[in-house]
Chain A
Amino acid sequence: MARFRFAEDVRVLPGLVALALFVVMAAAFLGANLPDPAGFPADATLIADIGYSLFDFTDESGVPTEGFLAAFELIDLVLVAALVGAILLAKREDGSIGNPLNWGDDE
């Protein structure tokens, strides 16, 4: 069984930037005077309403929302493009993708 150990390739100094950013953001958020959350009605069917929102049936939704049908179609294209791009990137120069069960070994 592999033992837990800390990573050895950590460059800690640049990480201080992240820490400083957190301090700045925490100060900004805790100092912000945001209104109380409106929340949702207890009988709201949020999942169904998200579905209505995705397909532009905003009149059916019991909670205020907008239509996202165009974005839904666009994301569909993006996902297909990413799938094709991932296969193109992963295949070897001879066009094969090898046996995925052996990926990581010296093929």
Chain B
Amino acid sequence: MIPTEYFLLLSAGIFCIGLFGVLTRRNALVFLMSVELMLNAANLNFIAFSHMHGNLVGQTFSLFAMALAAAEVAVGIGIVLALYRNFKGVDVTIPTSMRW
């Protein structure tokens, strides 16, 4: 059986790739994709620990995390659309206030 530490290592890698994207990119769509990577790294942790403990709580909870991620992306895409409409671009560093 694969040790839990390997799952955690993979999860840390995916999380850090997502964090790298959030910290280094300015494109709002890439931001959203990076946040998705971070959320899925958390899901992987849930499932790894579910496997380790031999119960289903982690797997079920990861489904809720996926649903939350879908809700977050729906709102995020709405924000990206508003951003594009008002600034003619999706660079997240250009808007500096909540109103325009």
Q: Which residues of A contact B (CB under 8 A)?
A: 7, 9-12, 14-15, 17-19, 21-22, 25-26, 29-30, 32, 34-40, 46, 49-50, 53-54, 61, 63-66, 68, 71-72, 75, 78-79, 81-83, 85-90, 92, 103-104
Contacting pair B1 A82 (CB below 8 A): no
In the bound complex, CA of A82 to CA of B27 (Å): 22
In the bound complex, CA of A75 to CA of B15 (Å): 24
In the bound complex, CA of A5 to CA of B5 (Å): 35
Residues of B within 8 A of A (CB-CB), count: 47
Per-residue 0/1 for B8-39: is the Cβ within 8 Å of any A Cβ (1 yes, 0 no)? 11001101110110011111001000000000
Contacting pair A40 B25 (CB below 8 A): no
* Total of A-B residue pairs, C-beta within 8 Å: 137
Partner of B3, one of A37, A82, A92: A37
Per-residue 0/1 for B73-84: is the Cβ within 8 Å of any A Cβ (1 yes, 0 no)? 011011101101
B16 proximity list for chain A (CB < 8 A): 18-19, 21-22, 25
SS of B interface (majority): helix
Contacting pair A15 B56 (CB below 8 A): no
Q: Which residues of B contact A (CB under 8 A)?
A: 1-5, 8-9, 12-13, 15-17, 19-20, 23-27, 30, 51-57, 59-61, 63-64, 67-68, 70-72, 74-75, 77-79, 81-82, 84-85, 91
Query: With A10-B25, A35-B52, A75-B68 in contact, is A92–B75 under 8 Å at CB?
Result: no
In the bound complex, CA of A32 to CA of B78 (Å): 42
Nearest A-chain residue to B76, judged by Cβ: A86
Contacting pair B68 A50 (CB below 8 A): no
Query: With A17-B19, A53-B60, A89-B82 in contact, is A78–B68 under 8 Å at CB?
Result: yes
In the bound complex, CA of A40 to CA of B31 (Å): 36
Contacting pair A10 B24 (CB below 8 A): yes
B82 proximity list for chain A (CB < 8 A): 89-90
